[in-house]
């Protein structure tokens, strides 16, 4: 029944005409053997079939045509519409009445069935939509699902779903040019307090029925509910993020005000005593004080730099400016610069000569090595060894900075990369508590991984860096060998 | 032009102006200060200073723009002042014609060293090109293309020599990756810093006592390289 129902109207009428014509032809061939009354009864069969398959109107029209055909071909005198016998007149009348009544009855039952089917389809579609929309927290997916469902329902030429708001969402199907005429149907997506968007449908043929309009409106209100739910969920998670960042900010403030004040107090004390002429011009204390001002302002500068780096990592603004670099050059310039701050430790660098180029940001990688080395310097005993090693491991370079400092309880190994993380509260080592989390931020921005590991006689920081950059492997350079 | 070199300081922070003026005046320079880009450009045109110290973070205009507007009419050495983490701005200003840079906060020896180098280079532009550059036990003869370490001649490939000669001729000054690559290689190679990394490593191996901790060819992180010669 379903495929027939979709045949266009023309086909229904053609089918009806053909069926009546064939029936008439068949009865005409057997006219001499069939009784007129039997023919009248038999004509009811095709009329019933037509009403069932094609509906009420084709049924009535076929009934009327059958009436004339019956009269014309089967009631004497043949080939006229005149009726001579009164009995034939009775038969004709009864035939007309019965066929019309039959058409109406069957047609009504059909229409009822079709309506029930349509309602069931609507209910199913509505159910599918609300099931699909349940639990969605993302406006684009809502728009997408709504758009697909409306498209499946309306079968139009073009469809658009627009969702307004702080981040407008647009969905259209099919992809491509929008028709130049205005849409045939516009349904607002209406929430309790505001309009959240609209559904636009372009379908000129067949025109959109009231039933379809009503269903699309129901879809729109379902979508409105889903959107409100999504927005509420977003607002909630934003609130959580804000709360978290608020907590972080107060942690930063307390750490920072302490850390910044320490060098500032030294500088202030040294500068004011120099200014107040309390220290003699030739006194060795004068040199000490000046050195303290110089060192502490460097320290202060480093603290501010760390804070800036951290806020950049937090806000996602830390974008490595990659270039093909030689790792040993980076390590070399860091160890050269840290000659004084690491003078109590021995630094051993073991990086193979033929290590490929690594695609990294030179300045940021310097920062990573500086932080890892100064962390080792802080915790490892004087005169111990700090080793820096590197090697290729699969698609990556693996770097290890190890020291002979104290081990870390296994449960803290991951957390030492958290901001402001200290293994214990009495840990009086100075610093912002940001160094390792900055390393983590930089390494991850490069697509690598960083972790800490306890060694037999100390602690190691390991990290990996991908060797490929946008899919290309490290370059091989043609070397010139000619000597001038 | 009076005897003592004249320095124009363009910086909107009064404390920095005060500090630089005090120190440079003490060291025998004549100092003029400007607090904005426009004022700086006007003073530069009116006074024709010997050196311009320019802060990149000015209130009225971009420091890089001040730099390129100065370069439209004058070759006076420009030393950029800028904070850490703005390598892009520094490189931009250097490629627009600035001669050197200092990262805030800076030590006064660094400032004086930059000023000395800038003065020497502006003198060289007027024809006193040095022909032999000495750095520790290194001697680089730019006329005869001979590089010696102590008494021993160092064999360099063509590209290595070209690179070293460019660095040494500009000793004391920072040279950006781009300027080295376009000068020693080809403008088309301006993005291939890896060439530079490799040749610098080779040069350090041939010239430095400890190639991992170079004394002569210094890396300026994110910017370029600087050759340190004897004064």
Locate the chain A residue with the closest alpha carbon to B86. Answer: A363
Size of interface A-B (CB pairs under 8 A): 72
In a domain, A225, yes or no: yes
Section A97-116 average pLDDT = 83
Domain of B166 in residue numbering reads as 132-227
Instruction: Please count the structural domains in chain B.
Output: 2
**Contact list, A333 vs chain B (CB under 8 Å):** 219, 221
For the beta carbon of residue A284, count every other beta carbon within 10 angstroms. Answer: 9
Type and span of the H or E element at A39: helix A36-54
In a domain, B1, yes or no: no
A143 compared with B161, residue with greater pLDDT: B161
- Distance between CA A436 and CA A441 in Å, rounded? 9
- Quote the DSSP letter at residue B189: G
In a domain, A443, yes or no: yes
Residue A62, phi then psi, degrees to nearest 5 = -65, -35
Would the CB atoms of B84 and A305 count as touching at under 8 Å? yes
In a domain, A483, yes or no: no
Q: What is the CATH number of the domain that holds A262?
A: 1.10.287.130
- Tell me: the pLDDT tens digits for A459-478? 999 999 999 888 888 887 76
pTM exceeds 0.80: no
Q: Do B41 and B60 have their domain in common?
A: yes
Q: What is the CATH number of the domain that holds B35?
A: 3.40.50.2300
Would you say A329 and B200 are in contact if contact means Cβ atoms under 8 Å apart? yes
Q: What is the CATH number of the domain that holds B176?
A: 1.10.10.10
Q: Do A327 and A460 have their domain in common?
A: yes
In a domain, A420, yes or no: yes
In a domain, A472, yes or no: no
Instruction: Please count the structural domains in chain A.
Output: 4
Q: How deeply is A22 buried, as exposed, middle or buried, from its count of CB atoms within 10 A (0-12, 13-18, 19+)?
A: exposed
- Ramachandran sector of residue B85 (left: φ over 0; alpha: ψ -120 to 50; beta: rest): left
Distance from CA of B45 to the nearest CA of A (A): 35
Final residue of a structural domain among B125, B156, B183: B125
Residue B80's pLDDT band (cuts 50, 70, 90): very high
Average pLDDT of chain B to the nearest whole number: 89
**CA torsion, points A288, A289, A295, A297, in degrees to nearest 10?**
-170
pLDDT of residue B180: 93
Q: Do B26 and B60 have their domain in common?
A: yes
Would the CB atoms of B201 and A308 count as touching at under 8 Å? no
Of B107, B168, B119, residue with least CA distance to B139: B168
Q: Do A15 and A142 have their domain in common?
A: no
Least-confidence region, from A343-352, A376-385, B79-88: B79-88
In a domain, B20, yes or no: yes
Would the CB atoms of A357 and B195 count as touching at under 8 Å? no
A260 compared with A348, residue with greater pLDDT: A348
Domain of A420 in residue numbering reads as 323-466
CA gyration radius, chain A: 44
In a domain, A452, yes or no: yes
> Between A297, A324, A363, which is nearest B222 by CB?
A363
Chain A interface test: which of B165, B184, B197 (most A C-beta within 10 Å): B197
Q: Do A275 and A392 have their domain in common?
A: no
Of A410, A411, A325, A404, residue with least CA distance to A368: A325
Type and span of the H or E element at A335: helix A327-337
Least-confidence region, from A251-255, B49-53, B155-159: A251-255
- Tell me: the pLDDT tens digits for A174-205? 776 777 888 888 888 888 888 888 888 888 87
A479 compared with A92, residue with greater pLDDT: A92
Q: Which two tokens stand for residue A174?
A: 């099919």
> For chain A, what's the residue count?
484
Q: Do B93 and B185 have their domain in common?
A: no
- Is a pLDDT exceeding 80 seen at residue A482? no
In a domain, B31, yes or no: yes
Q: Which two tokens stand for residue A457?
A: 């006689």
Q: Do B14 and B119 have their domain in common?
A: yes
In a domain, A126, yes or no: no
Q: What is the CATH number of the domain that holds A431?
A: 3.30.565.10
- Distance between CA A147 and CA A198 in Å, rounded? 11
SS3 assignment, position A408: coil
pLDDT of residue A484: 44
**CA end-to-end span of chain A, whole Å?**
93
Locate the chain B residue with the closest alpha carbon to A482. Answer: B157
Q: Do A216 and A255 have their domain in common?
A: no
Q: Do B29 and B48 have their domain in common?
A: yes
């Amino acid at each position: 029944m379903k495929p027939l129902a979709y045949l266009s109207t023309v086909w229904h009428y053609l089918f009806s005409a053909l069926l009546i014509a064939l029936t008439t032809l068949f009865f005409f061939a057997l006219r001499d053997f069939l009784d007129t009354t039997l023919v009248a009864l038999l004509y009811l069969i095709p009329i019933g079939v037509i009403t069932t398959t094609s509906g009420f109107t084709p049924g009535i029209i076929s009934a009327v045509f059958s009436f004339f055909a019956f009269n014309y071909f089967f009631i004497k005198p043949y080939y006229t519409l005149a009726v001579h016998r009164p009995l034939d007149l009775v038969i004709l009348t009864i035939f007309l009445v019965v066929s019309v009544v039959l058409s109406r009855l069957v047609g009504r039952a059909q229409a009822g069935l079709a309506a029930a089917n349509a309602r069931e389809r609507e209910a199913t579609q509505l159910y599918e939509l609300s099931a699909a929309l349940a639990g969605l927290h993302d406006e684009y997916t809502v728009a997408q699902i709504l758009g697909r469902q409306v498209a499946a329902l309306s079968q139009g030429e073009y469809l658009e779903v627009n969702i307004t708001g702080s981040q407008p969402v647009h969905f259209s199907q099919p992809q491509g040019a929008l028709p130049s005429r205005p849409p045939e149907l516009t349904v607002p997506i209406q929430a309790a307090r505001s309009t959240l968007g609209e559904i636009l449908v372009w379908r000129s043929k067949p025109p959109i029925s009231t039933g379809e309009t009503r269903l699309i409106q129901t879809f729109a209100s379902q979508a409105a509910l889903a959107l409100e739910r999504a927005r509420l969920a977003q607002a909630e998670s934003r609130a959580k993020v804000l709360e978290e960042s608020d907590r972080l900010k107060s942690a930063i403030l307390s750490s920072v005000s302490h850390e910044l004040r320490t060098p500032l107090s030294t500088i202030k004390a040294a500068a004011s005593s120099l200014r107040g002429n309390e220290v003699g011009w030739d006194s060795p204390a004068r040199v000490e004080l000046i050195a303290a001002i110089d060192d502490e302002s460097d320290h202060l500068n480093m603290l501010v730099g760390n804070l800036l780096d951290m806020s950049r990592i937090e806000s996602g603004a830390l974008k490595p400016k990659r270039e093909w670099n030689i790792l040993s050059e980076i390590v070399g310039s860091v160890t050269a610069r840290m000659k004084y701050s690491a003078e109590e430790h021995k630094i051993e660098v073991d990086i193979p000569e033929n290590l490929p180029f690594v695609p990294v940001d030179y300045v940021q990688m310097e920062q990573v090595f500086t932080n890892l080395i100064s962390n080792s310097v802080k915790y490892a005993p004087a005169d111990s060894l700090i080793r820096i090693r590197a090697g290729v491991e699969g698609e990556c370079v693996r770097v290890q900075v190890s020291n002979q400092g104290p081990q870390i309880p296994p449960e803290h190994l991951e957390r030492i990369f958290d901001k402001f993380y200290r293994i214990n509260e009495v840990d009086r080592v100075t610093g912002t508590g940001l160094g390792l989390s900055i390393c983590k931020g930089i390494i991850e921005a490069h697509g690598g991984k960083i972790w800490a590991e306890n060694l037999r006689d100390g602690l190691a920081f390991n990290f990996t860096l991908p060797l490929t950059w946008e899919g290309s492997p490290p370059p091989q350079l043609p070397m010139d060998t000619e000597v001038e | 032009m009076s005897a003592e070199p004249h320095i124009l300081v363009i910086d909107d922070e009064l404390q920095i102006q005060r500090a630089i003026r005090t120190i440079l005046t003490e060291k025998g320079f004549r100092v003029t200060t400007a607090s904005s880009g426009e004022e700086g450009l006007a003073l530069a045109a009116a006074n024709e200073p010997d050196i311009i110290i320019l802060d990149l973070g000015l209130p009225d205009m971009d420091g890089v723009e001040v730099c390129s507007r100065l370069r439209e009419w004058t070759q006076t050495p420009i030393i950029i002042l800028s904070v850490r983490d703005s390598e892009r701005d520094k490189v931009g200003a250097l490629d627009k014609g600035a001669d050197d840079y200092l990262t805030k906060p800076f030590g006064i020896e660094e400032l004086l060293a930059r000023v000395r180098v800038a003065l020497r280079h502006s003198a060289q532009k007027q024809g006193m090109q040095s022909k032999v550059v000495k750095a520790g036990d290194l001697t680089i003869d730019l006329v005869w293309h001979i590089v010696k370490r102590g008494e021993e001649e160092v064999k360099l490939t063509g590209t290595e020599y070209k690179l070293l000669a460019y660095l040494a001729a500009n000793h004391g000054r920072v040279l950006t990756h781009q300027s080295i690559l376009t000068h020693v290689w080809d403008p088309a190679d301006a993005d291939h810093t890896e060439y530079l990394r490799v040749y610098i490593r080779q040069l350090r191996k041939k010239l430095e006592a400890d190639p991992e901790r170079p004394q002569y060819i210094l890396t300026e992180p994110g910017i370029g390289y600087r050759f340190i010669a004897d004064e």
